Amino acid sequence: MKNTVFIFLVSILFTAQTVAQNYDKQVDDLLKKMTLEEKIGQMNQYTGFFDITGPAPMDGDSKVKYDDIKSGRVGSMLNVRGAKQIREMQKLAVENSRLGIPIVFAMDVIHGHKTVFPIPLAEAASWDMEAIEQGARIAAIEASAEGLHWTFAPMVDISRDARWGRVMEGGGEDPYLGSQIAAARVKGFQGTDLSATNTIAACAKHFAGYGFAEAGKDYNTSDVGTSTLYNVILPPFKAAAEAGVASFMNSFNTLNGIPATGDRFLQRDILKGSWNYDGMMVSDWGSIGEMVPHGFAKDGRHAALLAAQAGSDMDMESHLYKVHLAELVKSGELDEKLIDDAARRVLLLKYKLGLFDDPYKYSDELREKELLMHPDHIATATEMAKKSIVLLKNDNKLLPLAKSGKSIALIGPLSDDKTSPLGNWRLAGDDGTAISVLEGLKKYPNNTLQHAKGLNLIGERIQFVHEVEINTDDRTGITEAVAAARGKDVVVMVLGEHGYQSGEGRSRAHLGLPGLQQELLEAVYEVNQNIVLVLMNGRPLAIDWANENIPAIVEAWQLGIGSGDAIASVLYGDTNPSGKLPMTFPKTIGQVPIYYNFMNTGRPGPIEMVFWSHYIDETNAPLYPFGHGLSYADFSYSDLNVTSKAMLNGAKVSVNVTNNSTVDGHEVVQLYIRDYFASVVRPIKELKAFEKVFLKAGESKTILFDLGEDELGFYNNQGKFVFEKGKFDIMVGGSSMGGLVKTIDL
């Protein structure tokens, strides 16, 4: 019996090894057959655009590009989708090029695909890793059914700056939560078998420091110290690598003076060196060429050299590898071994995807028809939307609303909008496919509902880009909205940002409600204070006035296709909200960057005199802290027990959580630590564990956590992970503020 098990184990091991070795051998054999130009060809990625008569190149220079494909000079295309379109373009490569190497087709599949899921920041608010993984899974099922092989997601950039428009695309401000999300999304996209036709390769981006753009201005300089780099920025990337992410993307920014695209330290020393990462690195769009305006490369040729030396394996749309690499090798400036290494990584991805077995395997038009916008996908996206909603405030239990006998006014420029809730970055998602709040509320017919927008949206869709604003000067609708609000039992106001007011290139210098929305809110408040404010936004907003005056505030982000249904379900109590903020909300923009895991400083205060770390015109406290989120249930924490395991440099933690209410609900139990003194100063709080737990009305549960060196240690300024003995606080609660505390000495 034992022998059989042994033989079985050996055979598994042997098979696993042969598979890996097989690819190595196949890649080696193929590389030997390839000319220098063909190897460089694998390092080029071009964009296409969607043309119903077939794929066509964007720049109109079609002959050159088709010829490039036919001669094996294109490794990858992005922005071509559709089973038929991809099959046709693949044919050009496979049937014409000398070695018939297939192209890998990529696209930004960011939150769902045709079925649009909540924006990633909203999903992060669910703190539900299974649901997040499932969201990425469905995105992969739909994207692969459209013939795609590879997504440029997840974006795992940590950011502490709500001005930065791309916070909508990430997991928020915390490296621990961000790491869990990174791993969940990678697993969701890639499944357990990259060669299956319903999985796609993922890409951890943007490596690194892009989320630390100064003043939150997109593409801006990042200057961060070693401690922040290792302890805050890199952990989610490492988690993605450990989860087996098939690729990385570098970034537009400079990090400490070096453009990330040309940064050897990041790409060769850390990623491909210490982390031993064998996947591939794609540049960001044109980022190789951008090293010239950055002032790092003297011209395009120099930029190509620096990027290739630094470890950028594929050139997305700079067209510089294509022009310069062969000559750089021939002149002896660039070692051909680096070209071999880059081409090897690209080819390996193609082998892992199974493209050499069947280059057309993902292009199945029947599957495409059957799976895009499948009702099960829409239902899952709606469930995800419900989980992503955060109840920020609920004075006097204004929510949930009674289901009958009430008069309701629904107001706001976003109240009936079917496009904005889809958010930014949804290339396959069609305008107008979201359920609006108006449609969602109409499904509860036993209240009266009067609708008045108050303000309009202005703007247009230019090609793939929307430029939309919320009315900045037309006040004509405000009177009607005020009249609708007068005398109603409740006013539901849907305000915030249009879906295209966050995302790439959409940094904001103001964090209030855009356009005339604050004016509309205050005008309505004059006649009716029973307001439920439903916020739709792609970033934290500074809404201090609303927090002071409005009794109930619901954070509804941009929730995708099921938006209105999810919001109505929460407003009427069919869903008990359970989301928690993945990013701190500031009171005012002057507090930004504001984040919960800050350092104590030598003058934490408060003291009588002015000489402590504070503002003289605003408190240090945020509007809503990281981890905050209310429920219709009422949870309490008790009996925090911490047993230190000094020998093992760890601790066992238990805590009781009770639902003291008459409704069932989910609570996210959060564990934070504070390391009091260390060779590198540690934050006043760091999230190290959490569990989302379901508690029936009146139910209590004991939640257990195990802390070890992984949780209690940190990276020192040499980039080494260390554990240092000393005094630690262990804090457990329902947000990053408050909670129960026990102190241990290790």
* Residue ranges in contact with ligand BGC by CB under 6 A: 78, 108, 152, 205, 284-285, 504
Type and span of the H or E element at 31: helix 2-33
- Of 556, 543, 278, the residue nearest 436 (C-alpha): 556
Q: Cβ closer to ligand BGC: 503 or 515? A: 503
For ligand BGC, the nearest residue by Cβ is 152
Positive or negative torsion for Cα 586, 592, 593, 599: negative
List, by residue number, the catalytic residues: 284
Q: How far is the CB of 412 from ligand BGC (least distance, A)?
A: 31
Question: How many angstroms separate the Cα of 325 from the Cα of each of 36, 71, 93, 467, 711?
Answer: 9, 17, 21, 38, 45
- Of 122, 235, 130, the residue nearest 179 (C-alpha): 235
DSSP class of residue 155 equals: B
Structure tokens at 467: 């430029």
Question: How many angstroms separate the Cα of 463 from the Cα of each of 50, 317, 427?
Answer: 11, 19, 11
Contact 309, 291 (CB under 8 A): no
The DSSP bridge pattern shows strands 727-733 and 665-675 to be: antiparallel
The tokens 């039992």 sit on which residue? 489
Distance CA 369, CA 363 (A): 11
Instruction: Return the axis-axis angle of helices 234-242 and 175-190, rounded to nearest 10°.
Output: 30
Contact 248, 205 (CB under 8 A): yes
DSSP class of residue 132 equals: H
Contacting residues for 157 by C-beta, under 8 A, at least 6 apart = 166, 170, 205, 206, 208, 210, 211, 233, 236, 251
Q: From the centroid of its chain, how far is CA 744? A: 35
- Of 462, 466, 517, 473, the residue nearest 495 (C-alpha): 517
Burial class (CB in 10 A: 0-12, 13-18, 19+), 130: exposed
Residue spans of alpha helices (H) in 486-551: 517-527, 544-549
Dihedrals phi, psi of 176, to nearest 5 degrees: -70, -55
Q: From the centroid of its chain, how far is CA 556? A: 16
Which amino acid appears at position 68 of this protein?
Answer: D
DSSP class of residue 117 equals: P
Dihedrals phi, psi of 330, to nearest 5 degrees: -65, -35
DSSP letters for 472-501: SS--HHHHHHHHHHTT-SEEEEEEE--GGG
DSSP class of residue 119 equals: P
- 697-719: b or e for each residue (b if 16 or more CB lie within 10 Å)? eeeebebebebeeebbbbbbeee
Q: Cβ closer to ligand BGC: 213 or 687? A: 213
The DSSP bridge pattern shows strands 721-722 and 714-715 to be: antiparallel
Q: Cβ closer to ligand BGC: 173 or 284? A: 284
Q: Cβ closer to ligand BGC: 108 or 133? A: 108
